[in-house]
Amino acid sequence: MPPKSSNDDATDRQLRLFVGLVVVLALGAAAGVVAVTVLRSPPPPNYFVIVLLLGAIILANRLRVRFRVLSNQDVTSWTEVPVLIGLALVPGPWVILCTALAITINRMMMRRAPLKNVWQVAKDTLSASAAAAVFLLCGVQPDAAHPPFAVGAVVLALCAMALIDQAAFVPVMAISSHSRLRDVARRNLDVKIVGYVVRLAATLVTLALLAYNGDPLLLLLLPLIVACLQLWQSGRVRTREERDSWQRLAEATDALNAVDLTQVLHSAVSRAAVIFSASEAEIDLAVAGTDDRVVIGSASGIRHDGSPGTAKNKHRGEVTTDLIAHDGTLRVGVLRLRFGGAVKLTEFEQYKLKTFASALCTAIRNASAYAELARINAQNAHDAAHDALTGLANRRHLYDRAARHFTADGNDGVMALLLIDLNHFKEVNDTLGHAAGDTVLRKVARRLSGAAADGDLVARLGGDEFAMLLTNLPTPAMAGHRAETVLASLDDPIEVEGMQLTVSAAAGIALAPGSGGVNELMRRADIAMYQAKRAGQQTATYAHARDTADVERLVLSSELQRAVDEREFIVEFQPIVDLGSGEVISAEALARWQHPEHGYLTPMQFLETVERSGQLPAFADAVLEQALEASNDWRAAGFDMPVAVNVSPRSLLDPSFPEMVLARLRRHEVPAEMLVFELAETLTLSQLEVVRRALAELSEAGVRLALDDFGTGVSPLSVLSHIPVNQLKIDREFVSSVQTSSEAGAVVRSTVDLARSLHLTVIAEGVESEPQRHSLWELGCVAGQGHLFARPMSSARMLATMQRGTGGRPGVLAASLHDGGAVVRMPRRRPGSSGRSSLPHLPA
C-alpha cells in the first residue's frame, strides 16, 4: 500500500474531530435523559422485556440496506423500530443502554476499525437518546403491561432519530469521500425516506398489537416483521440500483461512439467515475503506434492528460481491469478505478465493469483507426502538394496558391513570382554523385525557406529549379529587393561530404499579370530567368517591352497543336560517313519547324518550349514517323542503313514511350537495329531509374543507343555502366580543334581508347575539312558527320545524293583514305547487345 499523502492525514484528522464531537454529544444526551428519568422516579423495569429488546436491537442492526459511496458504505438499518417500541415498554435509560450495548456487540462481531466502531456506537446512542428525550417531553410513560399507543410521540421521535442519523452520517461520508455535503445528503434520499415511512408503519403496527394484547411476547414477532421489511426494501433498492446503473452504462456507451480519441478518453474517465461511484478513474493507453498516454479524471472533470511520468496517484484503493477486445486478441490499455480505501466490487459491479471496459476498448480502437485514417489522408494530401526530397511545396501547390490569389476578392497587395535556377548544379551531380546533389538541394531549400517572409510560398519545381511566390508586397519595387535578399541567403558555402561548395543562382521576377493567370505568370518568370542567365546577372525582372520573345510566343499551345496537326514539323537528314572509306553508313534525323510566320526554325529555337508543353509525345511521334518512312525508302532503293533520332529525356520519363516506338517499328516493318536513339546529356538529372528501364526495354528489343556530346564534361563516364550505350559521339568543339589543340587530340584519343575497351563505336560531329578527317582517322575515330560530306537535307535529296555518289561509287560521299588492298576489320559485337553495328573499326 502506498504511503499516505498529506490529504489523507488531513481527512483522518477531520474524521477524528467529528467522531469526538458525536461521542461528546451522545454522552451528554444520554446523561441528560438518565437524569430526567431518575428525577421522575420510574417504576422498576421488566428485565425480560429488556433482554428481548437487546436481542431485537442486535438483530435489527444486523439487517441492513447498503449503498456503496466510493470506498465507504451508506448503511440503513432497522434499529429505529425496536428502539421506538422499547421506549413505550421500558424507561429511556434502559433503551439507551440496550442500544449502546447492542451496537457494541455487533461492531465487535464485524471486526471493523476502532474509529468506525466508536462513531457507530456514539451515533446510535445519540439517536436513541434523542428519541427518549422526545418521549419524555411528550410525557409518555412506558409500561410493559399496557404500552401506550402514542402516535405523535413515535412520529416525532422517528423524525429526531432520522435527523440525527443524517446529521452524523453526511459529514463523515463527505469528509472521507472528498464530496460535497449537498451531494452526499441527496444521494438515495428518496429511498431513505421510503425506508423511514416503512419503519414508522412497522413501529405503529407493533405498538398497536402490544396495546391491544398487552403481552410482551409479541416482541418475538418483531424480528420476523423486520426481516420481511428488510427483504422488501433491499430488493427494491437493488432493482433500482441495477436499473439506474444499466441506464448510466448505456448512456456512457453511447457517449463513447465518437471518432475523436481525446473525446472518447475524457468521456470514459468522467463517466466511469459516476457509474462505479469512484473518486477517480484512469485510463493508461497502450495502443500500438501511439505515444504512451494517461488520462485521469473524475465526474467533475479531467485533471491529467499526458505522459505517464507526470501523473500522480492520490488514492490508496484501486480496482484495475484490462481493456481487451471481445475476442480477447487485442489489449489497448488499462482502466483503473480509484477510491478512498479498500473496495470489493459486487458480482454485478464486476460484470458491469467488464462490459464497460469492452465497450471502451472498441471505442478506443475505432477512434485510433479513424485517427490513423485521418493521418494517412493528411499525409497523402501533404505528399500530393509537396516535394518528396526537400519537403517544399511542389508545382501543383504553387499553382493552386497563385490561382487563389487571382480569384480572391479584395486587394491584398502585390503578388510576384520569383523563379530560381541554380548555376552549374549539373557539375555537382556529375562530380560528387546524386546523393551529394540531393544534399545540396535540401540545404538550398532550407535556406530559401528561411529567407521567405510570412505568407510567401517556397516551392521546388523539379531538378535544380525553385520558385517563391511573394505575396502582400507593398509596392512592385519590393519584389526586386526581396529577390536579392533571397539569393543572398545562398552566399555562404554549403558543406557536402567535408567539402565547401559555393552555390549561385539566377532568378527571374514576374509581377502578377492582369490576364493570363498562373500560366502567364510562370511564362514571364521563366523568360526573365533566362534573360538573367544570358546577361550573367543574378536577377532580372520581366518587362513587356523586352519581351521580343519570338521563340516564347511560339510556345502557345494552340500553335504547337496546329504545327503537329498540319505537319509543320519536318525532318532533315545528315549522313554519317565512314572516315576511311567515305561510304555513307547511317544518317541522323534533325527536326525543323516550318512556321508560317517565323519561317525555318531549328531545334535550338523551339525544342525547349516543346518539352515544357504537353505536345512532346506528339512531336516525338511525328519525328519518328518521318525517320522510319525515310529508312523504308532508302532500304527499298538498296541502301539498308540505320537512322539516328534524337530523343528527349522527358520522353524517356514517359512509361508508354518504349511501346510507342516498338509499335512504329512494327507498322513500318523496320528492324529495331536500324534505329539509333541519340541521348541528350540531361537524362541523368532526375528519375534515372525510370529512364534506365525505358532504355533497357528498347535495347532488349534491338534499338541501339548513342550518347551525344561525349567529352564535354556533361556526360559522366558512370552513365556508361548504367545504360546499354552502343555509340559515342564526340562533340564538334573537340573536332574543330583536333589539329591545333593537343588537349582536344587527347580527348579524342582517350574517347577512342575507352570505346575500344567497351566495344563501342565513335562518331565525330562537325567534320568541316579534309585535314580534320585525316587527324580523326589517324587517332582511331571510325566515323564522322559534317559539312565536309553533306549538309542536312530532305529524305528524297539524301537518297538522290547517295545514288549519285562520288567517283562513280553510289553511297560514297568522299574519296577513300586507305589503299584498295587494305584489310578492314568489322567491329565486334558488344556483349549483351542484340543489335549489329554497320560501322567498321580501324586496325589496331
- What are the grid coordinates assigned to 148, written together? 401506550
What average pLDDT does the segment 671-678 reach? 94
395-547 sits in which CATH class?
Answer: alpha beta
CATH architecture classification, 256-381: 2-Layer Sandwich (3.30)
Domain ranges of the chain: 10-244, 256-381, 395-547, 574-581+633-804
CA distance 657 to 326: 54
Which residues neighbour 790 within 8 Å (Cβ) at sequence distance 6 or greater? 574, 575, 798, 801, 813
Helix (H) or strand (E) holding 435: helix 434-451
* pLDDT tens digits along 35-44: 877 777 676 7
Residue 418 CB contacts under 8 Å (≥ 6 apart), including other chains: 467, 468, 469, 470, 479, 482, 483, 486, 507, 508, 509, 525
Looking at residue 820, its pLDDT comes to: 47
Strands 727-730 and 761-765, by their bridges, are parallel
**pLDDT recorded at residue 837:** 39
Q: What is the mean pLDDT of residues 675-704?
A: 75
Residue 345, phi-psi category: left (phi > 0), alpha (psi -120 to 50), beta (remainder): beta
Q: How confident is the model at residue 72, as a pLDDT?
A: 46
Average of per-residue pLDDT across 116-130? 84
Query: What number of helices (H) and strands (E) belong to the chain?
Result: 27, 23
What does the alpha-carbon distance between residue 619 and residue 567 come to, in Å, rounded to a whole number? 10
Rg of the chain taking only CA atoms, in angstroms: 51
Q: Is pLDDT larger for residue 595 or for residue 327?
A: 595
pLDDT > 70? residue 628: yes
Long-range contacts of 216-221 (CB under 8 A, 24+ apart): 216/46, 216/48, 216/49, 216/52, 216/89, 216/144, 219/49, 219/52, 219/53, 219/56, 219/85, 220/52
Of the two residues 630 and 535, the one the predictor is more confident about is: 630
CA atoms within 13 A on the CB side of 304: 18
Least confident of 59-68, 429-438, 595-604, 664-673: 59-68
Cβ atoms of 296 and 265 closer than 8 Å: no
Model confidence band, residue 824 (pLDDT cutoffs 50, 70, 90):
very low
Closest C-alpha to 150, from 211, 76, 229, 66:
211
How, if at all, do strands 584-595 and 569-578 pair?
antiparallel
Q: Does 360 score more than 80 pLDDT?
A: yes
Please give the Cα distance from 525 to 519 (Å, whole number): 10
Instruction: Give the class (CATH, top level) of 574-581+633-804.
Output: alpha beta
Nearest to 465 by CA among 608, 565, 587, 349: 608
Same fold flag, 256-381 and 395-547: no
The grid coordinates of residue 375 equal 493521418
